[in-house]
Amino acid sequence: MDKDNQLRVRSFENNKIVIEIIDFNKWKSENTGMDLKIGSFLKIEDGNDKSIVTMIQSFKMAEDLLGPNVVQQNGQPKGHFLLDTYPIGQLETDNGELKFKKGIKNISIPPTSVSLLSEDEFKSIFEKRDQPFIFSKHSANENVDIVVDGDKFFSKHLAVVGSTGSGKSCTVAKLIQEANKSYHENIRNTHIVIFDIHGEYTYAFEKNYRYLSIEQNSLEIPYWLMNAEELEDFFIESNEANSHNQLSQFKKAVISNKIKHNPDLNITYDSPVYFDINEVIMYLSNKNRESRYSEDDIEYYALPEWKKIQCVDDEIPEEFWGKLDFFQPTGNSNHGILKKKISKGFFYGEFNRFLSRFETKLLDNRLDFMLKQTNLKTVDFFRIIKNLLGYHNGKDDSSNITIIDLSSLPFEIVSIVVSIITRFTFEFCFLKTKTNSTNDTPYLLVFEEAHKYIPKLSDAKYKNTRIAVERVAKEGRKYGLSSMIVSQRPSEISPTVFSQCNNFVVMRLTNPDDQNYVKRLLPDSFDVYTDSLAMLDTKEALLIGDAVSTPCIVKINDANPLPKSEDILFLKEWKRDWVNIEFEELFTKIMTEKAVLETVK
């Protein structure tokens, strides 16, 4: 028991221990400077160098146990309380050193004493881990650093979730800064790729990062890096009545053009090799206008000067990669003095809408980084991938962190860019592991605002991204590839991706659906923590997972420098004098540089 037996155990269950305070005033006078609070930790000793550590969850007065004559003392409650506490593990003494273990076992009953945990005992729970990694302090005692196992924290997938304004971006920046902390002066082997939806993370790093954006013309992702499904999603409108014809001819043209430009390679529809998109579009344009005539029971294309190119539907004539002028179909009548009856080709007029959409895409200069990279050929493949993964011209020109700025991309292309980079990063890690039997170059992919491109809804336009990220979630760890899923709406993320996370940094969540979604992913015994999700302060978080000794509420340390994610101070700005806006200059820039062209339906 504590001094003069003022604390004692009333009941003991696996997930709940009730502690009785016989006389709080007396306990307080005998423990000067020590406070019992919601969230305080108690130690229940069994007399055999083992102690249960339990956390105060709630309390209630117990007047009914004391009787009406002893409830008041000097006009105040005498202080008879019952504390509901939640056991989190046990402390053992091993060769004079305190060690904390999850779970409760081999505890002798009845317990011999109950007392507040000392600060040294408190630190023994949170400050002793393999591969120590520190980015926060305990919210109940900011003198105690929360030490997580860095290997487990990053290798077993990580989720950082929280409503807007909860400090999520600053937390992500702090995690990455700490992962790269000791390497500022000399580049080491940290490899992190950030998909930056809002263009805010370049402000959070000073050295050893690579910034790829369309504004700086540093983001190179040529169209021919897309796989078959990505190409079709980007170019084909699947809900059109004739989409099957578009699909069949587009596929035929892409494969044939890849073979044309890479004659020495074994080519498939998915092969990441160069093909000329303009030649493919020209082929489809020719098929859209194609006309034919028959002579001696042989079909020919109806071309000027009656140039005889025999129609062979299984092959693509070389001439079809350039623009051809066909005679107009004559129906049942003959054409000109040669008396030729000219008929429509099988796909005549089928690709009008497809070609119009493609022209619209070509006019959108935000897509230049993808559609106008015709100067990049197959031989550039390795340089492109090295650039995306942070490798450049030797060690001194390489980067620990690659920031992919997606903020200026059209929304419909964001998921394709994420899909391409994720897929090739996985392939890189897979091949490196298979080649060397182990992977000494692990990668972390940071998916900011993940709910926007890997949603739980089975929307066809996000299918490829969802497949790529789910593959990382399910298989990446074996090949040295991990993920950090960052979102303000965890309930809208693919369940496959989120359920594979073993570590969670859960910040303030105000949406009931998001709160319940997080609760469902965690054991029922964590209700004591998850019930407080809506009340967490900015930069406070519930930390749960394999990497931490026990779940706890933490205060995230400040990132330095901060990402550009601070809130705009509305009232302060509104109190300023009127500010004039140059509307003509602003909108001229928008129209000329970042025009969002309406897709032809």
HEC string of 332-357 equals CCCECCCCECCEECCCCCCCHHHHHH
Q: How far apart are CA 407 and CA 452, in angstroms?
A: 13
Q: In this predicted structure, what is the pLDDT of residue 105?
A: 75
CB distance 501 to 487 below 8 Å:
no
Residues 6+ apart with CB under 8 A from 180: 190, 192, 205, 208, 400, 401
The pLDDT of residue 195 is above 70: yes
Of these ranges, 16-25, 121-130, 216-225, the one predicted with the greatest mean pLDDT is 216-225
Q: What is the pLDDT of residue 445?
A: 97
Query: In which band, very low, low, confident or very high, does the pLDDT at 137 lie, cut at 50, 70 and 90?
Result: very high
Architecture of the 146-220+376-567 domain = 3-Layer(aba) Sandwich (3.40)
* C-alpha to C-alpha distances, 216 to 9, 210, 211, 408, nearest whole angstrom: 66, 12, 9, 11
Structure confidence by residue, pLDDT tens digits, 507-563: 999 999 999 888 887 666 667 777 788 889 999 999 998 899 888 899 999 999 889
Instruction: Say what the pLDDT of residue 336 is.
Output: 67
Per-residue model confidence (pLDDT) at position 470: 95
- Report d(CA 326, CA 291) in Å as an integer: 6
Question: How many whole angstroms separate alpha carbon 529 and alpha carbon 544?
Answer: 10
CA gap 394, 403 in Å, rounded: 19
Task: Give phi and psi for 496, each to the nearest 5.
Answer: -60, -45
pLDDT given at position 396:
61
- Listed in order, strand segments (DSSP E) in 66-225 are 72-73, 76-77, 81-94, 97-102, 113-116, 132-138, 141-149, 158-161, 192-196, 209-212
Query: pLDDT-based confidence at 2, cuts 50/70/90?
Result: very low
Q: pLDDT per residue over 252-282, tens digit each?
A: 999 999 999 999 999 999 999 999 999 999 9
Q: If pLDDT is split at 50, 70 and 90, which confidence band does 228 have?
A: very high
Whether the per-residue pLDDT at 205 is higher than 80: the answer is yes
The pLDDT score that the predictor gives to residue 565 is 72
Domain residues of the chain, as ranges? 3-126, 146-220+376-567, 228-356
φ and ψ at residue 178, rounded to 5 degrees: -70, -35
Measured between its terminal Cα atoms, the distance across the chain in Å is 77
Residue that wins the pLDDT comparison between 553 and 336: 553
CA distances for 47 relative to 6, 21, 111, 340, angstroms: 18, 20, 7, 108
Res 82 pLDDT > 60: yes
pLDDT of residue 519: 83
d(CA 411, CA 407): 9
Q: What is the pLDDT of residue 596?
A: 39
Give me the pLDDT at residue 370, please: 92
Mean pLDDT over the full length of the chain:
84
